[in-house]
Amino acid sequence: MNLIPIEINSIRIGYPLPCDLVDKGRVLLAKKSYVITSKSDLISIYDRNGGLFIEGLDAEALQKAYIDQLHTMMREEKCIGEIADSKLWMDKAVKRIVVADDKVDWRDLQMQVNYLLRNPQAESFASRLEHVLQILNKESQRNPNGVLFALVQLSVSATDMYSATQAMLVSVMCGLTAREVLGWSESDEMLLRKVALTMNISMTELQDRLTSQKHPASALQLLQIGGHAQCSVGILQAMGIGDGIWLEAVASHHAQVPGPLRGRTTAQRIARLIQRADMFAVRMAPYMMLPPMTPTAAMQACYFDENKRADEAGAALIKAVGIYQPGAYVRLASQEVAIVVRRGKNSNTPRVAVVRNRSGMPTSEHAVRDTSHKDYKVLASVPHSEAKVQIRLERLLPLTLSVDQPW
């Protein structure tokens, strides 16, 4: 995990710290909840230790504290210039995405995309979005199984940032489909990825809230859901996005237009592929009080179009990511429960790692099984809630690589 440098003005004098402060050598300077009582003390700590730093995962806590500070400043009717100056340091502090030793910290990336979508800033939006795309594209080429594994797991287990995770998952799924199955040009593929990441920018906060909301969506929430595509277009235009195809695809990403992709415009093809992938992502995570489907059931649901016929875009998605996607749980003929770690030669014969043995006990060692072998054939999907295991991404991600793919 990389360190993020922060500015003095990000610390609220007289308030408990939202996270630990460390120096560049990770030596603790002040623990979370400690109260710095004067600006002079803060400056002394800053100068004496060559700056202030926080761990990457603590940036979200700092962001929340910063938003509280903005609200306080507005209530106190501070001048616009002071508020604007306060806003700039935060954008600079968290715009970097942590990538250490050529490995992505997926939880940190999730937090960064969450901030990008919740707090878009015109002066940095395009560059920050491009950086996210470069990370996802690089990892999709280097280890597509690992990207799918991480994002599927985060989608069903970390619903506090559901919208950001969904955007990344749809972007990766669509990108792999465009590249590996449909043979789209690189420029169309990259535009597709951008549309997927930004299609729900106007309702990021609402999507996150709906995953934990205990009551049906209100009339106001339903109105916001119904109009979010056009609202997202407006936000993107305000961010300086003027690509007509991009904007048209965002505006129509919920259009239900069955039929082949051939003969459609670029924006229409992008919108259709995203619509099917989005359907998969929404069904897989708890949303608006609906119980999640297994990833397999969610994928199969997007295979058939509005007329109950095989859908070209949906079929291409399944061919690209498999019936049993990396990150999904399955029950084997051996009566073991396993998690999919790699796509197989066929869409229904993935490589899996055992997480519960025949007796139903969690395993400390994750034996890899080839489900094309009859003894380890996949019998059924297992819902995430029924797997009843705690997955450590750092431990299982190496299994997503083929033997000829070193870290």
> Token pair 């000829």 is at which residue?
404
SS3 (DSSP) at 109: helix
- What are the C-alpha distances in Å from 113 to residues 10, 79, 101, 274, 367? 21, 30, 20, 18, 33
Query: pLDDT: is 82 or 281 the higher one?
Result: 281
Residue 32 pLDDT: 85
Q: Other CB atoms closer than 10 Å to residue 229's CB: what's the count?
A: 20
> Token pair 């929404």 is at which residue?
282
Q: How far apart are CA 180 and CA 198, in angstroms?
A: 23
CB 100 within 8 A of CB 2: yes
Q: Which two tokens stand for residue 342?
A: 């790699």
Q: Which DSSP symbol is given to 182? A: I
pLDDT, tens digit, 9 for 90 and up, residues 325-367: 999 999 999 999 999 999 988 888 999 999 999 999 999 889 9
CB 109 within 8 A of CB 56: no
- Which segments within 211-320 are labelled E, that is strand? none
Mean pLDDT of the chain: 83
Name the nearest CA neighbour of 257 among 245, 268, 246: 268
Residue 58 pLDDT: 62
Q: Which domains occur in the chain, in start order? A: 1-94 (no CATH), 106-321 (1.10.3210.10), 329-400 (no CATH)
39 pLDDT band (50/70/90 cuts)? confident
| DSSP letter for each residue of 37-106 | --HHHHHHHHHHTTSEEEEGGGHHHHHHHHHHHHHHHHHTT--HHHHHHHHHHHHHHH-S--EETTEE-H
CB 371 within 8 A of CB 380: no
pTM across the whole model: 0.76
Residue 315 pLDDT: 93
69 pLDDT band (50/70/90 cuts)? low
405 pLDDT band (50/70/90 cuts)? very low
pLDDT, tens digit, 9 for 90 and up, residues 151-199: 999 887 767 788 999 999 999 999 999 999 999 999 999 999 999 999 9
Q: Which two tokens stand for residue 124?
A: 């940095």
CB 381 within 8 A of CB 296: yes
